[in-house]
A and B are shown apart, each in its own frame.
Chain A
Amino acid sequence: MQRFERVRALALLAALIATTTSPRDVRAQTTYLRTYKSPNLNPIRFANKAQCAADSREAATSVFLVVDAYAAGKFAHGIAKATDGDPNAAAAEGMRRFRYTVGKLIGLVSHRLLSGEIPLLPTNLTTANSAREYVAIARLRCDGREYCPALDAYLSRVWAMTPGDLAADPSFRRRSPTGGSELRCRYLKRFSNLQGHLLSGKPSQNSLNQIALDATRASDILDDCWAPQLDSRAYVQLWEIKGVGDAEWRSIGFDYWNSLRIWLSWAWRNLPLRLPNAGEFSEVFRSLPLEEALLFVPNGCESIVPPACDSAHLSVGALRELAVKGSPDSLRDLPNGPTGEIIRRPEPPVRSGDPAGLFEGDANTWAKEFRGRVVSNSLLLRNRLNDGLNRLSVLSRHLPADYVGQKIDEEARLAVADPVRKNQLYYLCAEFDYAANRSFGLLRDDLALLAQSRFLDGLPTNWSSNELNEFQRYYEGIASSALASCERLQKEKFWQDPGFVLDRSGYLPWFKEVLNDAEQGVDAATSATPGADPRPASGRPLLSLRTAGEATPFCWSGSHCARLALADIIGIYSAFTYADSLLPFQAAVPGAPIFNPYAERTACQVYDPWFKTRASVVELMVDLGNAAAFGWNQIPAFVTVDIKRGQVTSLRKLMAEGKLKFVPEKEKDHWAWTAGIDFGSLAGVPCVLAITSGAPALSPGVPYVFEGLSIGACKANEKHRLEVEGSRMNNRAGGAGSGCVACYLSFGSAATAVGSFAGNAINPLKLGVYLFRAFARFHKSMSDGEDVPRAYSLDIDRITRTYLAYGGVPKKCVRGLLEGKDCEIDTCESRAREYLERSYPGSNFLAVGTQKVNNQLRSIRFETDRCKGGLDLEMKTVFGDDCELHDFFRVSAIKGAGACARAFPPGRR
């Protein structure tokens, strides 16, 4: 037993040393159990795919705040220039002040929310039964828009109310203050194993060791949010809710985050006091767009905003894409739309690896690069939107649709004599055909949605939805003129002219993207011919703009003007598609589940985390029914079912209250029944023929391999017949047969065979086999690593204490720790170990076992990396057998064994 222990201990020690970063790190670790300072973090939750999807419906208790202080810095820089100050010093100071004031403001609002001094603002306005006045304002007066002035006025009034007034008003829902709840801030220097749950779904013994190691050096990883010298340009903070019970949090969690985000937006501009800790910037900072600079991201799979299947939630996919390292710097001209993405990839990998590059380098670099991509794309979208609206405004006022049509026809007539110009009309017809054609329905329908959306109403621009509708109508007028002309030209075989050569380099960028997608791309190296240039050899532009005496061409010809109108509509459409995530002109600080791609997939029913569990239960019932029907008699039959979830084929778009919602259109779940005839008992051949109803794959759970033959594969629509003769398998292509036929050795047939020999009416062995098979199949199904929800909530302190006590997390403790149980630590072993590590610094010791001589004398066996053989430490406790009190034990002897006898000569203390 001793030898086994020794081997085990050595192996553990070796593994421990191997897994820690470097030998030097291990030796440098001098934290002991009693000197361990807890980083005081919330438990971390490892979740597999299904659990991650299910967790998306819960409110997060731990969130990251990604802050971009660039605008604050640039603004301070500008103010210094305008006041003849030092711009660079002002920029640095401005960013630091921004960090302080944002942090303090969050703390202030959160404190008032948690102590019930201000009411919670409900997330779900339809079911809310409190804060009635708020609900009324939000729904009726704000009319579903994010903001209206009445809301500011309401919030200002409520902020000033005393707790007495609030308590007297029953319509307010406040949290009953309980001591000790707070939202605590930490500055994240880098992502580490303390965020290991972002990398994997199941913790191993190694991950527990890594977590503990990082917890002991938490000061390298986390810092105080108010420390002055931290990088303030772009940073990540960790904000955690403490002191709110689980049951209460389930009830108020989402409302808390909703309230925090809305109150923050209000407070930034309307706080009656100065912005806290903002120094000289406490007035002017109010002009900063706070919502652009901040982003809450849940630390894990939970959510800040309850997921829903609408454009606001789906557009977070764009942010997620931009969070990935090395993502393309600019968004598409013609976006696929977020719905396409989730249908094309219904089950992306989650918790496997680090595509976002979070763990490379420090958190500031990641935040800066992420924000850099977001900002550049956001500016791109803004410019597209702005330019599109400006240009359409000019075009629609001065070039009526039918006039453009006339001009196109004129152009066609002129092009007969100049075939190179035919390119321009070709581009016109190709681009409009794609956009307006019924067969390319998607784009046409999407563009039609623009007219119904009210997304412009929420943006800081003077353009209104009415004007957008006008532009939409104008575009449709242009489109019908253009398409009519194109049809005519097509009929006249306009382009079937030997003098005409198509130069595809002249397409507008959005159409080139379409061609690239369809792999009919235009080679970038192709140089443009004169035909590609919309500018004619001579003549004036169709429309131009006079500025200070010069005339700048606006568009050159009927076809060019029409194509520009189309490009502008597409530009506006692309802004609309990404509006919710990249043009966040909301009245609340945004929150997005960047680390959980299943949040919106679950909301849109593209993935169902409970499906596998439900299906397994159904299959178990059927199997038990089998046992009941066939397990006790001679009937050589069985029936099993394999349930496959129906896929969501499309998301139907629905405009409701000016917001774009999606309704999933789902296939029915597919139940593949297998009816099997067990010939084993009848024909004497150990084989079973099963006919499945066109199932795509053979149920894995149906009769197990028992004698070494492999199960025949059964693919949909494949008509194969496998025949087994003895031990050979012949694959013979079959002709007839509606289903698919496979032959395999059945577990049950052996029992059935036995049963038939016995000749009894009731076959207990067969029944047993059937029952066993039912539960074995259920167990296998429920052990699925990915699709059956499973989570492990790990208490960091518990793991670290175990780690420090034993010098590593022992295998025996892993299971307990994963289940949230303490691992029993023998304090005497732990103290003795500390004593040894202090006495022999640089060496590691691992307690292997204790032998008690009597109540006060014990001998503890240690393994060490200092030498081979181990040592025995004799310890005398003073008060009973308790080692809790540090000074009340004595080490009476240390005896080395084997090679350690020299290193630890007997008698040494």
Chain B
Amino acid sequence: MTTRFAALCLILASILAPAARATGDAPVRARPIGISQYEDWSSRGGVYRKSLEFRCGQGFESACLDLCGDDFGCSIPESYCRDCAGAAELRLMNFFKFAGTYFVNAGRARFEEGPSLAAVLRSGNFVSISSRSPYNVWTPFDAPELRARFQSLCAPHPSEDPIVIFDVNERRQPTHARWVLCANEGGLVAFEIARRAVLVPENRVLRSAPRSVP
């Protein structure tokens, strides 16, 4: 009787053990193809915390190593975004309303001057948004139209879930939308975001270059 019971326990343990491993603290997902990214708001330790999650598939481990020091993936914590959770932040409002129209992809991000993307993310001096952001109170959550506009920001390197990175000032207010991170099977690419120039149909020569970001 006891031996049968012990055997049953062993069998159960061997079935459950992997599951136990899987329900550890770090959320584990299947290794992706390429790189995957998402904004994570889940509750950890009983408290909702915001972070950026990256997972790197076969052949892209260096990207994750660079970003987070782990070749599999990581979680980059993000602190609060001042006055963002409501209708107060005009800069966020502008972005959600005009992403894809006034705010467009302006080419690959260059990191020669200033800190690299990894450095910025690790420093925590940024806020991030996506089409699923709870900071968005102006358009419906992840509405197809909004999603399409966000995805248009990643036109050269199409991504399911683009993430836009904002600079923050010393008050942790978002100041400028700087980069959009586009992740797919081909890896992660960061593009600059610029504010759109207008077209003047009368062929008038523009007197000055359009402003890059508001």
Residues of chain B within 8 A of A71, CB atoms compared: 85-87, 137
With CB as the reference atom, state the residue of chain A lying closest to B98: A390
Chain B residues positioned under 8 Å from A284 (CB to CB): 41, 48-50, 80, 85
A-contacting residues, B150-200, CB 8 Å: 152, 170-173, 175-176, 196, 198-200
A287-B80, A287-B82, A541-B201 given as contacts; is B207 within 8 A of A460 (CB)?
Answer: no
Q: Does B117 contact A (CB under 8 A)?
A: no
Mask for A127-153, Cβ within 8 A of B = 1, else 0?
000000000000000000001010010
Bound complex: CA A382 to CA B198 (Å): 23
CB-CB nearest in chain B for A147? B171
Residue contact A545 to B87, C-beta cutoff 8 Å: no
* A contact residues around B116 at 8 Å (CB): none
What chain B residues lie within 8 Å of A463 (beta carbons)? 214
The smallest beta-carbon distance between A414 and chain B, in angstroms, is 15
Interface window among A167-175, A547-555, A686-694, A842-850: A547-555
Which chain A residue lies CB-closest to B87?
Answer: A379
Residue of B nearest to A68 (CB): B86
Residue B15 interfacial (CB < 8 Å)? no
* Distance between B207 CB and nearest chain A CB, rounded to angstroms: 7
The answer for the CA separation of A379 and B41 in the assembled complex, in Å, is 27
B-contact bits for A270-281, CB 8 A (1 contact / 0 none): 000010000111
A386 in contact with B90 given A269-B172, A287-B82 (CB within 8 Å): yes
Determine if B172 and A397 form an interchain contact, defined as CB atoms under 8 angstroms apart: no
Knowing A382-B93, A545-B198, A551-B201, say if A81 contacts B80 (CB, 8 Å): no
B41 touches A83 (CB 8 A): yes
A75-B86, A382-B87, A544-B199 known; A82 and B132 CB under 8 Å? yes
Interchain CB contact under 8 A, B198 and A461: no
Known contacts A82-B134, A545-B199; decide if A460 and B88 are in contact (CB<8 Å). yes
By beta carbon, the residue of chain B nearest A542 is B202
- Residue pair B211, A292 in contact (C-beta under 8 Å): no
B47 touches A544 (CB 8 A): no
- Which residues on B sit within 8 Å (CB–CB) of A108? none
Rounded to whole angstroms, the CA-CA distance of A281 and B48 in the bound complex is 6
> B93 to nearest A CB, angstroms?
7
Interface centre among A77, A82, A288, A545 (most CB of B within 10 A): A82
- Tell me if B47 and A288 are in contact (CB < 8 A): no
Contact between B206 and A398, CB atoms less than 8 A apart: yes
- Taking the nearest CB of chain B, how far is it from the CB of A549, in angstroms? 11
Could you tell me which residues of chain B, from 121 to 135, have a CB within 8 Å of some CB in chain A?
A: 132-135
Question: Considering the chains assembled together, what is the distance between the CA atoms of A546 and B100 in angstroms?
Answer: 11
Taking the nearest CB of chain A, how far is it from the CB of B79, in angstroms?
8
Say if the beta carbon of B147 comes within 8 Å of chain A: no
Q: Which of A82, A149, A286, A460 contacts B80 (CB 8 A)?
A: A286
Residues of B within 8 A of A285 (CB): 85
Most interface-central of A269, A281, A393, A462 (chain B CB within 10 A): A462
B94 on the A face (CB < 8 A):
yes
| Interface presence of B46 (CB below 8 A) | yes
- The answer on a CB contact under 8 Å between B152 and A397 is no
A666 an interface residue at 8 Å Cβ cutoff?
Answer: no
Query: By the criterion CB–CB under 8 Å, are A75 and B134 in contact?
Result: yes
Contacts of A149 in B (CB 8 A): 170-171
Q: Is the CB of A540 within 8 A of B48?
A: no
Residues B93 and A269 in contact, CB atoms below 8 Å apart = no
Partner of A393, one of B49, B142, B206, B214: B214
Which residues on B sit within 8 Å (CB–CB) of A274? 47
CB of B211, distance to nearest CB on chain A (Å)? 7
Set of chain B residues within 8 Å of A459, measured between Cβ atoms: 90
CB distance from A403 to the nearest CB of B (A): 8
* Residues A397 and B211 in contact, CB atoms below 8 Å apart: yes
Whether B208 and A546, one on each chain, are in contact in the complex, defined by CB atoms closer than 8 angstroms, is no
Which residues of A, 276-333, contact B by the 8 Å Cβ criterion?
Answer: 279-289, 292-293
**A79, B211: Cβ atoms under 8 Å?**
no
Residues of B contacting A82 in the complex (Cβ-Cβ under 8 angstroms): 39, 41, 132-134, 141
Question: In the bound complex, do residue B83 and residue A287 qualify as a contact, i.e. CB atoms below 8 Å apart?
Answer: yes
> Which A residues are in CB contact (< 8 Å) with B80?
269, 283-284, 286-287
Tell me if B84 counts as interface (CB < 8 A to partner A). Answer: yes
Query: Which residue of A74, A400, A548 is within 8 Å of B137 (Cβ)?
Result: A74
- Give A292 to B82 CA distance when docked, in angstroms: 12
- Nearest B residue to A459 by beta-carbon distance? B90
Q: Cβ of A403: which chain B residues have Cβ within 8 Å of it?
A: 204
Residue on A nearest B94 in the bound complex, by CB: A386
A149-B170, A283-B48 known; A398 and B198 CB under 8 Å?
yes
**Interface readout for A60-93 with B: 1 if CB under 8 Å, 0 if not?**
0000000000011011011101110000000000
Whether B86 and A289, one on each chain, are in contact in the complex, defined by CB atoms closer than 8 angstroms, is yes
Minimum CB–CB distance from A89 to chain B (whole Å) comes to 14
Of all chain A residues, the one with the shortest Cβ separation from B176 is: A462
Residue A682, interface by CB 8 Å? no
Q: A382-B90, A400-B207 are in contact. Are A79 and B135 (CB under 8 A)?
A: no
Are A548 and B100 in contact (CB-based, < 8 A)?
Answer: yes
Inter-chain contacts of A386 with B (CB < 8 A): 90, 93-94
The reply to whether A287 and B85 contact each other, CB–CB distance below 8 Å, is yes
A585→B48 contact, CB < 8 A = no
A543 within 8 A of B: yes
Interface status of B53 (Cβ within 8 A of chain A):
no
Q: How far is the CA of A393 from the CA of B98 in the complex (A)?
A: 15
Task: Decide yes or no: A289 and B210 within 8 Å by CB, A79-B41, A283-B47, A386-B93 being known contacts.
Answer: no
Q: Name the A residues within 8 Å of B200 (CB-CB).
A: 398, 543-544
The CA-CA distance from A393 to B94 in the complex, in Å, is 14
B70 in the interface (beta carbon within 8 A): no
Q: Which of B85, B91, B132 contacts A81 (CB 8 A)?
A: B132
Contacts of A289 in B (CB 8 A): 82-83, 85-86, 88-89
In the complex, chain B residues whose CB is within 8 Å of the CB of A378: 87
User: For the complex, is A394 an interface residue (Cβ under 8 Å from B)?
Assistant: yes
**Residues of chain A lying within 8 A (CB to CB) of residue B91:** 460-462
Distance, CA A77 to CA B48, complexed state (A): 13
A residues near B48, Cβ cutoff 8 Å:
79, 83, 280-281, 283-284
Q: How many angstroms from the CA of A378 to the CA of B171 in the assembled complex?
A: 23
Binary contact track B89-131/A, C-beta < 8 Å → 1, others 0: 1110110000011100000000000000000000000000000
Instruction: Assess whether B81 is interfacial by the CB under 8 Å rule.
Output: yes
In the complex the two chains form, is A585's CB within 8 Å of B43's CB? no
The answer to whether A547 and B101 touch (CB under 8 A), given A75-B85, A280-B47, A284-B85, is: yes
Any chain A CB within 8 A of the CB of B37?
A: no
B47: chain A residues within 8 A (beta carbon): 274, 280-283
The answer on a CB contact under 8 Å between B90 and A540 is no
Query: Does B42 belong to the interface (CB within 8 Å)?
Result: yes
Q: Quick one: which of A463, A547, A554 has the most chain B CB within 10 A?
A: A547
B83 and A460 contacting across the interface, CB-CB below 8 Å:
yes
What CA separation (Å) do A541 and B198 show in the bound complex?
12
Query: If the complex has contacts A283-B49, A287-B80, are A544 and B93 also in contact, measured as CB distance less than 8 A?
Result: no
Convert B57-93 into 0s and 1s, putting 1 for each residue whose CB lies closer than 8 angstroms to a CB of A: 0000000000000000000000011111111111101
> A81 vs B84: C-alpha distance in the bound complex, in angstroms?
17
Instruction: Supply 14 further A-B pairs (C-beta < 8 A) apart from A75-B135, A269-B82, A375-B87.
Output: A281-B47, A285-B85, A287-B135, A288-B85, A289-B86, A385-B90, A397-B206, A403-B204, A460-B90, A543-B201, A545-B199, A548-B100, A551-B199, A585-B88
Point out residues on B near A: beta carbons under 8 Å.
Answer: 39, 41-43, 46-50, 80-91, 93-94, 100-102, 132-137, 141-142, 152, 170-173, 175-176, 196, 198-202, 204, 206-208, 210-211, 213-214
Binding site for B on A (CB under 8 A): 71-72, 74-75, 77-79, 81-83, 147, 149, 152, 269, 274, 279-289, 292-293, 375, 378-379, 382, 385-386, 390, 393-394, 397-398, 400, 403, 459-463, 540-548, 551, 554, 585
Which 5 A-B pairs have CB atoms at the shortest separation, nearest pair first? A78-B134, A71-B86, A286-B80, A289-B83, A289-B88
A-B contact list, 14 entries, CB within 8 Å: A75-B85, A78-B135, A81-B142, A287-B84, A292-B87, A379-B87, A386-B90, A398-B200, A460-B88, A460-B89, A460-B173, A545-B198, A548-B101, A554-B198
